[in-house]
Amino acid sequence: DTGVSQDPRHKITKRGQNVTFRCDPISEHNRLYWYRQTLGQGPEFLTYFQNEAQLEKSRLLSDRFSAERPKGSFSTLEIQRTEQGDSAMYLCASSSRGGAGDDTEAFFGQGTRLTVV
Amino acid sequence: QQPVQSPQAVILREGEDAVINCSSSKALYSVHWYRQKHGEAPVFLMILLKGGEQKGHEKISASFNEKKQQSSLYLTASQLSYSGTYFCGTEIGLNSGYALNFGKGTSLLVTP
């Protein structure tokens, strides 16, 4: 397994268009996360899946954002009616579930850089 | 709340040492450290757990002071490959899991 992969790596879109990103996690990982990173900032948590269930969404995630993880494998993040403020790097990460009190590291993909013009 | 990292930026010569600090206003269960090079994915370095357990990198060490809600990352005998932005992450408790709340990062440049 080569790690977490994301597609596309770069996306330029006009304001108001819809965009969809894909993330393929490490195959045995049941936890999947989406983060957003802007210049000079650390990644900000957006949403979390355990298997196919979306268990948590950040307040940062407006109604224009939706994420899915059908069958607990790959995930997609869709942004509808994009705005210039959506321009950012969208990072996907995955991890395996540890036992109680067992933190396991998250592995990040290289991200999709979105530019809204 | 976002953890606070210091310093914001460091420039070192190869072979010198550096310390990067991370502090939180909330009680910490664990601190996670990542390094990100320009245009690349953040790469896991270390987890420090309450109680003193560490998991991670062989050549980088770290401390975790639970009472002070602080962690420090120690980079000794720095190499050119250590250049990048270092992020600490503190846990956001979620429904059946956790995510990370990252600081703004510390930019490290190691020069020959």
pLDDT values of chain A reduced to their tens digit, one per residue, 117 residues: 579 999 999 999 999 999 999 999 999 899 999 999 999 999 999 999 999 998 888 887 899 999 999 988 999 999 999 999 999 999 999 998 755 455 678 999 999 999 999
Largest Cα span, chain B: 47
What element of type H or E holds B102?
Answer: strand B97-102
CA end-to-end distance (rounded Å), chain A: 36
Amino acid B35: pLDDT: 96
CA distance B12 to A31: 37
Question: Which residue on chain A is closest to B86 by alpha carbon?
Answer: A42
Angle, vertex CA B97, rays to CA B23 and CA B71, nearest 5: 15
CB A90 within 8 A of CB A77: yes
- Which of A41, A50, A103 has its CB closest to that of B96? A50
Which segments in chain B show pLDDT lower than 70? 52-58
In this prediction, residue B10 carries a pLDDT of 97
**Token pair listed for A13:** 């879109």
Residues with Cβ within 8 Å of B43's Cβ and at least 6 positions away in sequence, in order, are A108, B34, B35, B36, B37
- CB B95 within 8 Å of CB B73: no
> How many interchain CB pairs under 8 A, A with B?
64
State the distance between the two ends of chain B, measured CA to CA, in whole angstroms: 37
pLDDT at A102: 55
Number of Cβ within 10 Å of residue A8's Cβ equals 12
Q: Which residues of A touch B28 (CB under 8 A)?
A: none
Tally of CB atoms within 10 A around B77: 10
pLDDT at B29 (0 to 100)? 82
Closest CA to A105 of B106, B4, B109, B49: B49
CB of B98 closer than 8 Å to CB of B41:
no
Do B95 and A103 lie within an 8 Å CB cutoff? no
Which of B20, B44, B60, B92 is the best mutation test for A, with the most CBs of A within 10 A?
B44
